[in-house]
A and B are shown apart, each in its own frame.
Chain A
Amino acid sequence: MDLSNLLIPAVLFFALGFLAQGVKSDLKFPPELAKALSIYLLLGIGLKGGIEFSHAHLGEAVEAVGAALVLGFALPILAYAILLAGRLDKLNASAIAAHYGSVSAGTFLTAIAYLNAQQITYETYPVIMLAIMESPAIIVGLLLARFSRGSKTKNDEDARENHMGELLKDAFTNGSVILLFGGMFIGYIVKPNSLATITPFFSTLFMGALSLFLLEMGMEAGKRIGEFKRVGWFLVAFGVLMPLVGGGVGLLMGHYWLGFGMGGTMLVAVLGASASYIAVPPAMRLAIPEANPSYYLTLSLGVTFPFNVIVGIPIYHYFAARLAGV
């Protein structure tokens, strides 16, 4: 593993944010900037996915979608089982599990930047998988929570948390899902010469905007170190181990099922390893209000995200290369 591969702007901006927080710098981002940048990044990925989809081989694309659905449904169940084995209560376990079945666009884009810097080519289907993987885990989380609550809430039938239809609607109309699929649809349907008018904004500037976003996310991750004590060491350890489990599943799936090369396999591993911090937390706030947001935000943003960006990506790269025999 060559750690100099980590010397790319995305990772270094993230580290800078983390450091700024560590030295208690007075650097502050306007809170709305992160939200605005996440809208831009999700739309940009959606567009890219849609453009790729328009040149895709249909059979391969359908297979990638199938693999994304399997990952999205299976990983939260696996995470839930591990969390219950660690004696976490069922509702918190359901909410955390949903985060680990979903994906982090920030981590995925860092992985793309990492591959681009080393001029490693990759299959484009993982971009489509990223968009698909936003929702299944939310649905599994809802089902697990419903199962966990059992008959306890039957006397509160009017509670919105008990209306499955409404919760499913929330899972599919989630802001991130709208942006990713909306972007994909636009990218797919618009003719290349019309797309050229927005390319400077969504493509040329994209990695610069990602760097800004990662700078702020580095600060956010740094702020959450103080919460480790509150969430307990079992969960912090889970935040490091679960990405390795999910990444392992992704590596095997990318190589053996989808037949991707090194770059594509690494990206599927990153999809399996990453935990959502944009789409899933608000969905869980509404659907599993009993769970403690401090747990899932600290884990996905404070533990798993930095772990994947700094340690995980080179590990997935190493094993993807071994599988590909490079």
Chain B
Amino acid sequence: MPLLHPMKLINIVANMTLEERLVDIAEAHATSGYTILEARGAGSAGLQTGALEGGSNILFMLVITESKLSEVMVDIEKLMKRGHHLACFVSDTQVLRREKFAD
């Protein structure tokens, strides 16, 4: 089996208006990339049906090294402290081809 490398996977569910700010955070910490999916659901901000911009979520996915995790979390928490409704989940993951991801 090819070699797998341990990394951290951050999943953030937020309103689509926050996309630009999440991208700014990813770029500020020199991560190698991110993935954004459109998402629907319900939570503390009520029903998010995806039909109108104010009620449409995204799933923002970011894979980073463990050493960067705390600085990225500080920035995400700043957004939450300002009152933005977002949910953030961090999990251990493994990646193929370590060189695809920034240090």
Contact = CB atoms under 8 A, between A and B. Distances in A.
Q: Give the interface size class of chain B.
A: 20 to 34
B51 A294 contact: no
B55 A293 contact: yes
Interface stretch (A134-142, A190-198, A257-265, A283-291): A283-291
A292 B45 contact: yes
A159 interface: yes
A226 to B, nearest CB: 8
Nearest to B81: A156
B51 A281 contact: no
B86 to A, nearest CB: 9
Contacts of A34: 51-52
A161 B18 CA distance: 12
Interface in A266-297: 277-278, 280-282, 284-286, 288-297
Nearest to A176: B53
A293 B15 contact: yes
Given A31-B56, A227-B46, A285-B17, A290 B51 contact: no
Interface in B21-80: 21, 38, 40, 44-47, 49-56, 78
Given A31-B40, A223-B47, A293 B85 contact: yes
Which of B46, B47, B51, B81 has its CB near the most chain A CB atoms (within 10 A)? B51
A156 B82 contact: yes
B5 interface: no
A286 B17 contact: yes
Given A281-B52, A281-B53, A286-B17, A292 B84 contact: no
A308 interface: no
B2 interface: no
A220 B17 contact: no
Contacts of A296: 54
B17 A282 contact: yes
B49 to A, nearest CB: 6
Interface residues of A, number: 38
A277 B82 contact: no
Contacts of B84: 285, 289
A52 interface: no
A284 B52 contact: no
Which of B16, B45, B54, B78 has its CB near the most chain A CB atoms (within 10 A)? B54
Contact of B52 (A35, A161, A294): A35
A28 to B, nearest CB: 10
Contacts of A182: none
B55 A29 contact: no
Contacts of A161: 82-83
Which of A227, A230, A282 has its CB near the most chain B CB atoms (within 10 A)? A282
11 contacts: A31-B56, A34-B51, A35-B56, A91-B83, A220-B49, A224-B47, A278-B53, A282-B17, A285-B15, A290-B82, A301-B52
Interface of B: 15-18, 21, 38, 40, 44-47, 49-56, 78, 81-85
6 nearest CB pairs, A to B? A281-B54, A294-B46, A290-B83, A31-B50, A289-B83, A34-B51
Interface of A: 29, 31, 34-35, 38, 91, 156, 159-161, 175, 216, 220, 223-224, 226-227, 230, 277-278, 280-282, 284-286, 288-298, 301
